[in-house]
């Protein structure tokens, strides 16, 4: 026998709820008087007008009228004639904390649009699309007639280097480390080109991309929203699209298709790992709306976890754990901030029937052959994941925040008569 914990088994039943409720909202907006932020006096419609400025390494970030609710944000490099700007009228930029789109201007003329592709705001994005307006000739060249159309190149960075391609899955394969990173520079146009190219070292690129907020030292003055702990990864040639959430104790990847979760992968800071796969297509898991059985692989051991109280595993308080190869089962109950485990179902159910009943607190023994816990009688292990009152409170708070954000976004979008065709799919 070897000692281990049943905490990972508990995580399997409520991983999704835990992810949702532990993600807090946006970071508080800094006041204009914060260190590093200076207020520039002025009059409306005369000169630049009243605004605030935040100097960073190599340039200045400006916001009108302030950083709390700016209608315009500008990034200007000290040694460059190119300026980047974002405004609240862009459908991809309802707020500074959630702004995913920014435009570049050269001597006042529109040049290109940069749209975040990983769900993070543009100062924090590590994968983005670059949109150009290209004029193509129409009719005889002598007439000088042209028609404008948009071209899109996908870019991303890893290990301090930026890569580009018109083929998003090929680019993601490089960023995921599935293929060898190229060294060839991109041609003038990537239209119809499926190759991946090396653009530049991130430290030499003057655009506000590739975790720019941190690279130029702005995160101390303008902290990134806490939602940047989540990052969306588009599908590569080998890896499906997934959402990655980085927490203090673990990194969680949620793989989704057709609006349902196919797999949850958890990598703990301790070095242990867990994979959770809903058993779709079975009588206990018809679809994502009501699934009572999952396959759980912890390190190299696989078990089946099935709800016994008719609830989905995210809300179940009683379940059984068994081996895919058959053999004995164990039963677990989740209540009062502890998970109770035992070999006899009736004894474990008694804990739910008598909430005040206590059990011995001790480590779980793991049977090396079956890979299942082997509790002597009913034992308990404390875990905040089984504090149902706190979980319900956090869930209600998370739902309220999500509804408020959706309402604000709806109001912003309703004021837009012509949403940008490029930034809309990335919102």
More confident residue, 360 or 384: 384
Phi, psi of 353 (to 5 degrees): -75, -30
Determine the average pLDDT of the residues in 226-245.
Answer: 92
Residue 19 has pLDDT above 60, yes or no: no
**pLDDT above 50 (res 423):** no
Using the predicted structure, report yes or no on whether residue 42 has a pLDDT greater than 80: no
45: left (phi over 0), alpha (psi -120 to 50) or beta: left
pLDDT category of residue 123 using cuts at 50, 70 and 90: very high
Q: What is the mean pLDDT of residues 158-175?
A: 96
C-alpha dihedral over 392, 397, 402, 407, to 10 degrees?
130
Q: How high is the pLDDT of residue 23?
A: 43
Q: What is the pLDDT of residues 376-416, one digit of tens each?
A: 677 778 887 787 777 778 777 777 766 665 555 444 444 33
128 pLDDT exceeds 90?
Answer: yes
- Ranges assigned E (strand) in 146-241: 146-158, 161-165, 197-201, 230-233
Instruction: With a cut of 50, say whether residue 2 has pLDDT above it.
Output: no
Can you give the pTM of this predicted structure? 0.73
- Average pLDDT over every residue of 64-78: 85
């Amino acid at each position: 026998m070897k000692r281990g914990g049943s905490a990972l088994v508990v995580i399997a039943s409520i991983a999704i709820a835990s992810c949702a409720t532990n993600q807090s909202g946006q970071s508080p907006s800094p006041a204009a008087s914060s260190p590093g932020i200076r207020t520039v006096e002025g009059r409306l419609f005369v000169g630049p007008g009243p605004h605030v400025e935040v100097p960073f390494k190599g340039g200045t970030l400006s916001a009108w009228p302030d950083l709390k609710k700016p209608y315009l944000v500008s990034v200007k490099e000290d040694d460059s004639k190119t300026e980047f700007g974002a405004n609240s009228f862009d459908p991809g930029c309802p707020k500074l904390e959630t702004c995913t789109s920014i435009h570049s201007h050269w001597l006042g003329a529109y040049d290109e649009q940069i749209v975040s592709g990983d769900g993070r705001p543009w100062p924090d994005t590590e994968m983005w699309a670059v949109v150009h307006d290209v004029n193509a000739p129409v009719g005889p060249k002598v007439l000088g007639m042209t028609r404008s159309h948009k071209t899109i190149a996908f870019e991303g960075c890893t290990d301090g280097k930026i890569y580009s391609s018109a083929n998003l899955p090929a680019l993601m394969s490089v960023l995921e480390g599935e293929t060898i990173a190229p060294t060839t520079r991109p041609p003038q146009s990537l239209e119809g080109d499926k190759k991946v190219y090396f653009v530049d070292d991130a430290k030499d690129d003057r655009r506000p991309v590739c975790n720019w907020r941190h690279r130029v030292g702005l995160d101390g003055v303008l902290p990134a929203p806490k939602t940047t702990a989540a990052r969306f990864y588009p599908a590569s040639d080998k890896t499906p699209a997934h959402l990655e959430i980085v927490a203090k104790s673990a990194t969680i990847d949620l793989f989704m298709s057709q609006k349902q979760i196919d797999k949850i992968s958890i990598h703990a800071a301790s070095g242990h790992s867990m994979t959770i796969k809903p058993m779709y297509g079975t009588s206990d898991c018809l679809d994502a709306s009501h699934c009572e059985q999952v396959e759980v692989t912890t390190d190299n051991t696989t078990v089946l976890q099935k709800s016994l109280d008719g609830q989905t595993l995210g809300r179940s308080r009683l379940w059984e754990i068994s081996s895919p190869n058959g053999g004995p089962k164990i039963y677990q109950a989740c209540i009062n901030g502890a998970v109770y485990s035992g070999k006899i179902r009736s004894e474990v159910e008694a804990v739910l029937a008598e909430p005040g009943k206590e059990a011995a607190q001790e480590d779980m023994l793991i049977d090396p052959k079956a890979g299942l816990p082997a509790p002597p009688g009913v034992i308990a292990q404390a875990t905040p994941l089984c504090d149902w009152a706190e979980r319900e409170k956090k869930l209600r708070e998370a739902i309220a925040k999500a509804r408020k954000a959706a309402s604000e976004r709806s109001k912003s979008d309703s004021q837009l008569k012509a949403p940008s065709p490029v930034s809309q799919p990335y919102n």
